[in-house]
């Protein structure tokens, strides 16, 4: 499943990110790649421990905590500190799979990557190309979203970013470990939660069937979640 989460950051927050990023020092994006991805990857990144990256990363994490859609779909246990990248002048990222386990440098922090996230920080009309293409068992899914919008997709997928042939594509990217490891179980919980929320809007919280379904949701979560 590829999920579009609109307006994670406001346009003001995006403008703030861009200002900080424009003034920062960029390095070769391969600092965070495994050896196979390094062959495919051609972009620039803010160093993981750069103060600019950490400051903006906190802003992104705060915004995600306030997004019911993100929480419901991802059921996050641990979120990797967001990173920031930039593609320009024909740069691209060929087809690859993200490392299963990822640690943060010089910190006691390690996650299993269940979901990958890309938060777009440039408007689609600022650049050509730069499309994120994710391949799963249901074929190809494409994302090229307004600044401030995010896409969430299973880290098990093969994916790539097409060459940026005009302007610059800047984004935040990161991974998370979900409380529910299995994609299928997590997707079912998301669908059930979404349906319950729609029923609540029609029938209210106190409706007997709404209460029963809410119980089933929590009992499935209890069965499948690690916390």
- Specify which residues 111 forms β-bridges with: 102
- In the complex, minimum distance from the CB of residue 97 to Ni ion, in angstroms, rounded to a whole number: 7
Nearest Cα to 84, choosing from 115, 101, 102, 60? 60
- In the complex, minimum distance from the CB of residue 159 to Ni ion, in angstroms, rounded to a whole number: 6
CA diameter of the chain: 59
- In the complex, minimum distance from the CB of residue 103 to Ni ion, in angstroms, rounded to a whole number: 16
Our finding on whether 114 is near Ni ion (CB under 5 A) is no
Instruction: Find the binding residues for Ni ion in span 20-59 (CB under 5 A).
Output: none
The whole-angstrom separation of Cα 202 and Cα 183 is 29
The whole-angstrom separation of Cα 116 and Cα 132 is 12
Q: Which is nearer to Ni ion, 123 or 135 (CB)?
A: 135
Structure tokens belonging to residue 12: 């003001």
Q: How many residues bind Ni ion (CB under 5 A)?
A: 1
Q: Which is nearer to Ni ion, 13 or 92 (CB)?
A: 92
- In the complex, minimum distance from the CB of residue 83 to Ni ion, in angstroms, rounded to a whole number: 11
Q: Which is nearer to Ni ion, 98 or 183 (CB)?
A: 98
Cβ contact 94:88 at 8 Å = no
- In the complex, minimum distance from the CB of residue 173 to Ni ion, in angstroms, rounded to a whole number: 7
- In the complex, minimum distance from the CB of residue 98 to Ni ion, in angstroms, rounded to a whole number: 4
Per-residue contact string for residues 60-99; x = within reach of Ni ion by CB under 5 A: --------------------------------------x-
Q: Which is nearer to Ni ion, 98 or 114 (CB)?
A: 98
The residue number whose beta carbon is nearest to Ni ion equals 98
Nearest Cα to 196, choosing from 179, 178, 210? 210
For residues 116-149, one letter each, b for 16 or more C-beta atoms within 10 angstroms of the residue's C-beta and e for the rest, the string is: bbbbbbbeeeebebbbbbbebeeeebebbbebbb
Q: Which is nearer to Ni ion, 3 or 189 (CB)?
A: 3
Cβ contact 24:159 at 8 Å = no
Q: Which is nearer to Ni ion, 103 or 215 (CB)?
A: 103
Contact positions toward Ni ion, by CB under 5 A? 98
């Amino acid at each position: 499943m590829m999920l579009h989460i609109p307006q994670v950051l406001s346009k003001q927050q995006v403008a703030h990110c861009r200002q900080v990023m424009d003034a920062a020092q960029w390095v070769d994006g391969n600092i965070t790649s495994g050896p196979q991805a390094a062959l495919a990857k051609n972009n620039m990144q803010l160093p993981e421990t750069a103060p600019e990256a950490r400051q903006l990363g906190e802003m992104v994490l705060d915004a995600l905590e306030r997004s019911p859609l993100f929480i419901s779909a991802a059921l996050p246990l641990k979120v990797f500190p967001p990173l920031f990248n930039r593609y320009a002048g024909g740069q691209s990222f060929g087809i690859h799979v993200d490392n299963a386990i990822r640690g943060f440098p010089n910190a006691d922090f390690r996650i299993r990557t269940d979901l990958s996230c890309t938060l777009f920080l440039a408007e689609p009309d600022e650049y050509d190309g730069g499309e994120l293409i994710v391949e799963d068992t249901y074929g190809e899914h494409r994302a090229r979203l307004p600044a401030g919008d995010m896409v969430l997709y299973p880290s098990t997928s093969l994916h790539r970013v097409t060459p940026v042939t005009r302007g610059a594509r800047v984004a935040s990217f990161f991974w998370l470990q979900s409380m529910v490891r299995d994609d299928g179980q997590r997707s079912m919980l998301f669908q059930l939660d979404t349906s319950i929320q729609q029923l609540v809007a029609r029938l209210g919280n106190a409706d007997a069937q709404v209460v029963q379904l809410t119980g089933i949701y929590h009992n499935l979560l209890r069965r499948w979640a690690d916390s």
